Structure 1
């Protein structure tokens, strides 16, 4: 999984999800409403919720979820240290398989940061 281009994966998935939204609009609208309600900042801020989602993504071994929640955590201002601490909790809760998927999440974070930094340099 080391050769995954995480930002590219996210873009490809977004296209696939658009197709899914067209084929199952009611279900996808309901899912979107759940996501919006869950992510609404209340006792926990948006960054904390995205870090939780990233940790859960690792624990349930969902690379696609890792890609999206890594990007979202970064957009909410998550630092590499916060991601690493989140991955530590995922490893604690998920044992060996979470160690392997944590490496995926860290690679995704580093690639998204690199793309973001590259975009800032060219603008």
Structure 2
């Protein structure tokens, strides 16, 4: 399954959850919007932080969503690689495995 397929599948699942729990969805949406409107950090930096946390927490759907956002923000492979190096330094072997997945995700989504 490609990363694009994973994104489509997750969006379908989230739509179903949003219908089942609309108030929770509205609350999370508001939180997400507020977190992305920082004053000191730009959107790309905030998304790099989010992707680093996704790698550390080993959340593949989060990796896909935030990598996609970074591609749209114009993040480079070098920027992603620098961030992933810090993830591995802080998280060791498990982060190394998810860093590799993240770079593959970036390569696929950036080429699309």
Shorter-chain TM-score tier:
over 0.9
- Report the TM-score when normalising by structure 1: 0.88
Give a deviation string over 1:29-72, Cα, whole Å, max 9, x none: 10011110111141000000101111110001001100100000
Aligned Cα root-mean-square deviation (Å): 0.9
Q: Which runs of 4+ in 1 moved over 6 A?
A: none
Q: Measure, in 2, the Cα distance between the counterparts of 1:91 and 1:101.
A: 9
Out of 39, 47, 55, which is 2:44 matched to?
47
Aligned equivalent of 1:12: 9
Residue number in structure 1 paired with 2:79: 82
Query: TM-score scaled by structure 2?
Result: 0.96
- 2:99 corresponds in structure 1 to 102
What does the per-residue CA deviation read over 1:67-109, in whole Å, with 9 as the maximum and x for residues that have no partner?
A: 1000001111111000001101111111110000000100000
Q: Which residue of 2 aligns with 1:60?
A: 57
Q: In structure 2, what is the equivalent of residue 25 of structure 1?
A: 22
- SS of residue in 2 equivalent to 1:40: coil
Counterpart in the other structure of 1:119: none
Gaps of 5+ in 2: none
